[in-house]
Amino acid sequence: MNNYNYFAVDIGNSWYKVLASDHGELREYQMPNAIALYDDEFYEKPYDEEDIILEENLIVEIKSPAITNKREIFYAGKAAAKQRNVSLTASNNQKADEDRTYILLFAAAAYHASVINSTDIELNYCIDQLAVSLPTTQYKERKELLKQKLIGTHTITLHKVPGIPEPKELIVKLEIKDVIVGAEGACAYLGLIRDIDTLTIKDDTLVKDSKKGIIIGDLGGDSVDFVGIKNSKPVASVEGDHFGINLFLDTIIKKVSKNELYTFDSRSELEEKLFAGQSEWYVEPFAGVRKDISKYVIPQLRIMAIKYLEHFDRARSSSSEIKGASRYIAVGGAAKLAQKQIQEAAVRWADKGRPIELTFPENLEKLNVFGLMILAKMNQLKKQHENTEELISIEG
């Protein structure tokens, strides 16, 4: 199993979470879901190149059948989030149809290739098995399109790469041999029950609970994905909705800009501050001036928490196959960010006779990408051992 290169990407509307395993060596990355058109006229040269980190200066040009616009150069991820013309995700975006999905995924793969081959300026990097995810609302109709656009050979040029000679370009020829697409939420279940290294079951209790039924609510940037699990298999009758934290982040950004005269570069800048904890919920619109933004943050998280519970309540009522489920599990970065507010709202619901007891597992914001890495390895094993029925039954 360790003789192959695996790449797992949780294509989040806020962040791309990436796990890469090269011959057994595991690395982890994440980058904002942000791109911006590059214009050489406005490129600000660093005062000291040694201060520039490639991950924060990804300027990419991609030649690929997956990309419609092959002539443009883009800032990607953290580099894009700092630009005035940054493009973030739109509500109800279709991930398999949009160039940004492939620009960011290929940029992440090229960056990873540069990390593990830091001395070469022309690299060949092969991914034996790539695993990516789609929201449940897009999974059935778009998974084959996403797979076909990713498989093949793609050329990524990284421009303005610090530490290498002029023209400061790093070219990565990326080969993706195979792709498997998982449904968000269902992948989190894999991440919950199986060990990412050995693939063995690590949580027998959860597997037993799945006989009665489990509902997983994956709260992300622009979507909330619900997956019903029965006998360790996804139940098709539970789906998600177009709802997520980005709407509330945008409201916080507007209120802070209007009232405190501080403008966030992007949602990711705000999210990083919120994830750091309430002690960091301050902005500095002017030197020496420190403003507390918790009065804008907490009400939005409370509203989101209530709506999340409402979505969860509808999901548990809508499926006849998992009515009376034994466990309700909250996962996703937005659920982690608003865990306190969700728990507070759940208490009020219980007082009103509508109890909904959610479990918040460890690493709930990373379970999808953990599951995707497990899915990638299992698919590789499945190809090697086509008759392993247990592995087939888990595939989303």
Which residue type is seen at 92? N
DSSP string computed for 184-213: TTHHHHHHHHB-TTT--B--HHHHHHTTT-
**Rg value, the chain, Cα:** 21
List the beta strands (DSSP E) in the chain. Answer: 5-11, 15-22, 25-32, 35-37, 59-63, 73-76, 122-127, 129-134, 152-159, 170-176, 179-183, 214-219, 224-230, 233-235, 282-283, 291-292, 327-331, 358-359
CATH number for 205-364: choose from 3.20.20.70, 3.40.50.2000, 1.10.510.10, 3.30.420.40: 3.30.420.40
Assess whether pLDDT exceeds 90 at residue 348: yes
| pLDDT at 237 (0 to 100) | 67
Per-position DSSP letters for 43-104, written without gaps between them: ----S-GGG--GGG--EEEEE-TT-S--S-EEEETHHHHTSTT-B-PPTT--GGG-HHHHHH
Report the Cα 371 to chain-centroid distance in Å: 12
Average of per-residue pLDDT values in the chain: 91
222 or 111: which leads in pLDDT: 111
Which residues of the chain does CATH 3.30.420.40 include?
A: 5-183, 205-364
- As a whole number of angstroms, the distance between CA 71 and CA 228 comes to 43
5-183 CATH choice from 3.40.50.720, 3.20.20.210, 3.30.43.10, 3.30.420.40: 3.30.420.40
CA dist., res. 90 & res. 292, Å (int): 28
- Reported as a single tens digit per residue, the pLDDT across 199-229 is 999 999 999 999 989 999 999 888 898 999 9
| pLDDT-based confidence at residue 389 (cuts at 50, 70, 90) | low
Percent of the chain past pLDDT 90, that is, above it, reads 67
Chain segment 299-318, per-residue pLDDT in tens: 999 999 999 999 999 988 88
Query: Which has the higher per-residue pLDDT, 320 or 35?
Result: 35
Distance CA 265, CA 83 (A): 7
Angle value at C-alpha 243, between 237 and 249, nearest 5 degrees = 155
Predicted confidence band of residue 7 (pLDDT cuts 50, 70, 90): very high
Q: How many percent of the chain have pLDDT more than 70?
A: 96
pLDDT attached to residue 40: 87
392 pLDDT above the threshold of 50: no
Q: What is the pLDDT of residue 390?
A: 52
In 10 A of CB 219, how many CB atoms? 31
What is the reported pLDDT for 163?
87
Would you state the pLDDT for residue 304? 97
Query: How far apart are alpha carbons 36 and 302 in whole angstroms?
Result: 32
